[in-house]
Amino acid sequence: MADSVTWYSISELAASLARDANRLRFEWLLPGHGDRRRLPADDMAERLRGLAARTRELRPRPIDFTAMRW
């Protein structure tokens, strides 16, 4: 998660991840770009919980939309 590209609220994103981290069970990650990844569901759950914890540490900051290329 990158706070520099979260257009609404990094705090809301962190809260959403925290809510879902213990409810979702999956083995495959199929991103829109990059390599797909398959791990046992328990490993994926642990990684998602770790992502949620790291995202909670991010603090909101203003986004400089003039620096974005559209």
Report the chain (70 residues): mean pLDDT per 10 consecutive residues. Answer: 66 88 92 92 94 86 67
**Helix pair angle (10-21, 41-57), 10° resolution:** 150
DSSP string, 40-57: -HHHHHHHHHHHHHHHHH
Q: What is the pLDDT of residue 44?
A: 94
CB 33 within 8 A of CB 67: no
Q: What is the pLDDT of residue 5?
A: 62
Rounded to whole angstroms, what are the CA distances from 6 to 27, 29, 44, 61, 65? 26, 20, 23, 10, 12
